[in-house]
Amino acid sequence: MQLGDQQASGNVEDRRGMGVGGGLGVGGVVVAVIAYFLGFDPGTAINVAQQVTNGRADSRPAPKGAPSDETGQFVAKVLGSTEAVWGKLLAQYRPPTLVLYNAQVRSACGTAQSAMGPFYCGNDEKLYLDLSFFRELQSRFKSPGDFAQAYVIAHEVGHHVQKLTGTLDKLEGARGSSAGASGTSVRMELQADCYAGVWGHQAGVMNQLSAGDLEEALAAATAIGDDRLQKQSQGRVVPDSFTHGSSEQRSRWFKRGMDSGNPKDCDTFSARSL
């Protein structure tokens, strides 16, 4: 990616190195990527996150603004790019806050561990990211590259767009009862993938993309498909338990948004076939 001229977002809350107190109740969490190597499927991730932890909370206020380290700067510039894009595409857009943390974090949706992967909490309109996931993306998911990392952030911003448009609130209650390859949860995640593609299209218009960036994002979307994760973690694929979509679905809906650049082309809920 070419982000040298992109203004870094100041909507970053850096909680790295800060402790977390215990106790929670999760509500409104949208998990982007589940760590299949822990042996649980996406449908149980929130239950895992609801376990009480015994760490001590850090009383220091978390620094806010673009971090000074290289990876923190990259994240802040990607977030700044999404703000520029969605600020033009969505009249009611208000930027979310991106929280950087280590190991575990407390959100308005409860306390989560980094094993859950990046997630969006609609209750506080914040994205949560442990940067160790970028290393997992490269080593375990075999999806290296800065645009693959940017896709992860853009997907979570996609959930924020769903929150602002009312989609997330209307459909959140139906997620648990609508699993499966064509269920509500999959449609919600695929729409976020498509929104990530819309951002990618606009980033290209702003000359922020480099040769090979699209391939990086498609590889990441493929690597975290439900079928791929299930096959690797349990040796078999169970479509009835899909929550995020297959590798083919995720890459195809991302590319749809990337090709069009129009959020209206991301209506996964009206699509007869995903």
Q: pLDDT class for 184, splitting at 50, 70, 90? A: confident
Average of per-residue pLDDT across 134-147: 89
Task: Say how many CA atoms lie within 13 Å of 15 toward its Cβ.
Answer: 25
Q: pLDDT class for 55, splitting at 50, 70, 90? A: very low
Q: pLDDT class for 54, splitting at 50, 70, 90? A: very low
Q: What average pLDDT does the structure give for the chain? A: 82
- pLDDT greater than 50 at residue 118: yes
Q: Using the 8-state DSSP alphabet, how is residue 135 labeled?
A: H
Q: In this predicted model, what pLDDT tens digit does every residue of 15-31 receive, in sequence order?
A: 998 877 443 333 455 54
- pLDDT greater than 60 at residue 35: no
Q: pLDDT class for 2, splitting at 50, 70, 90? A: very high
Is residue 120 helix, strand or coil?
strand
**Alpha carbons 13 and 127: distance in angstroms, whole number:** 10
